[in-house]
Amino acid sequence: MNVLVYIENITGKFKKSTYEVVSYAAAIAKQTGGTLTAVSIGNVDASTLAEIGKYGAIKILNVQQDALSSFVNQAYASIISQAAKSVDATVVVLSNTFTGKGLAPRVAVKLAAAYVDGALELPTITGNSFSVKRGAFSGKAFANVTLNSAIKVITLSPNAYQINDLGTTATIEDFNPSTGAHDFQTMVKEIIRASDKISLPDAELVVSGGRGLKGPENWGMIEELASLLGAATGCSKPVSDSGWRPHEEHVGQTGIAVAPNLYIAIGISGAIQHLAGVSASKVIVVINKDPEAPFFKVADYGIVGDAFEVVPQLIEAVKVLKAQA
């Protein structure tokens, strides 16, 4: 089956999640004996585009128009489905990022395709049918979704698939889709990005704080530890509800579900709603002064102790580790 992957860029650069989705899509093309084409929308230079070839795409369709330099959901969805048709793709893969979540359902409807979001593994393929594993019940379970239609749309969870450099190269072609005024009904006025912060949903490392930190004024040490580790900062629901931290840092069932390699929970007791949002983490560290905190039951490493004593020691230890490196 021919596979099309949408390679999302942020201000002309590709993120780790984009390389992951290309590797994932290349593996599906290989599984099904098809070829992989990538489609890029926006202003990405040729050398950055060429990088994608290493991961198994044989062709990159490049769509560059001024009107498309920022994200327009309808237009992007239309372009991706036109690209899929142009290469006879029966599988379309995107990243399950904020943008991917907005785009993929529209692409699926346009292509009359079955859609599964947040895939965690490669599909199991039986004839023309795919079975794809994804999270369900906000991280409390997994669901195996069967896709039966001729065309399938899949979004891949960030940090779920290994990037594989295959040493291949791709040709780059300009692609000129047809779009009309109708596709441009939303207008991005402003993009505000905290340049010094690591984004939480696709972070590899997360340092999260809870009510045990007693107040927003004590987040300095959380931020310092996170910054030394190159981690994103998160928090529990009571913390964001109290306005100590912004909502976008809320990790849990009704906030952001994360899947980092390392999740460090400091002063968070581990309510079931919070645990749901972190269950996909590979390693969980819990620091809490209450030995009965439910979070210890799902932790890989734990320290029963006062955050105000422990965290400064961790900060020093990370500094030592970095000095050795």
Partner 1 sequence: MKILVCISNVPDTTTKITFNSNNTEFNTSGVQFILNPYDELALARAIELTEGGKGSVTVVNVGLADTEPTIRKALAIGADDAIRINAAPANAYFVAQQIAKIAKEGQYELILTGRESIDYNGAQTGAMIAEIMDMPSISIIKKLTIDANTATVEREIEGGKEVITVDFPFLASVTEGVAEPKIPNMRGIMSARTKPLQVVEAIAVDTLSSISSFDLPAARSTVKLISTNESAKLIEALHSEAKVI
Q: How far is the CB of 214 from partner 1 (least distance, A)?
A: 18
Q: How far is the CB of 199 from partner 1 (least distance, A)?
A: 4
Cα separation, 128 vs 208, in Å, equals: 43
| Residue closer to partner 1 (CB basis): 51 or 248 | 248
Q: How far is the CB of 99 from partner 1 (least distance, A)?
A: 7
**Burial (Cβ within 10 Å: 0-12, 13-18, ≥19) of residue 63:** buried
User: Would you state the structure tokens that stand for residue 12, as one six-digit string?
Assistant: 């002309």
| Residue closer to partner 1 (CB basis): 88 or 241 | 241
| Residue closer to partner 1 (CB basis): 25 or 284 | 284
Q: How far is the CB of 269 from partner 1 (least distance, A)?
A: 14
Q: How far is the CB of 133 from partner 1 (least distance, A)?
A: 8
Residue 114's DSSP bridge partners are 152
| Residue closer to partner 1 (CB basis): 156 or 170 | 156
Q: How far is the CB of 54 from partner 1 (least distance, A)?
A: 23
Per DSSP bridges, beta strands 124-126 and 129-136 are: antiparallel
| Residue closer to partner 1 (CB basis): 59 or 274 | 274
CA 166 centroid distance within chain: 22
Residue pair 57/5 in contact (Cβ under 8 Å)? The answer is yes
| Residue closer to partner 1 (CB basis): 238 or 302 | 302
Kindly give, in sequence order, each residue whose CB lies less than 8 Å from that of residue 148, ignoring residues fewer than 6 positions away. 114, 128, 129
DSSP per residue, 211-223: GGG-SGGGTHHHH
- DSSP tag of 296: G
Torsion of CA 200, 81, 128, 94, to 10 degrees: -10
End-to-end CA distance of the chain: 45
Q: How far is the CB of 38 from partner 1 (least distance, A)?
A: 20
Cα separation, 2 vs 89, in Å, equals: 4
Kindly give, in sequence order, each residue whose CB lies less than 8 Å from that of residue 195, ignoring residues fewer than 6 positions away. none
Cα separation, 154 vs 252, in Å, equals: 24
Cα separation, 20 vs 179, in Å, equals: 29
Q: How far is the CB of 190 from partner 1 (least distance, A)?
A: 4
Q: How far is the CB of 167 from partner 1 (least distance, A)?
A: 25
Q: Which residue's entry shows tokens 């007693």? A: 214
Residue pair 264/203 in contact (Cβ under 8 Å)? The answer is no
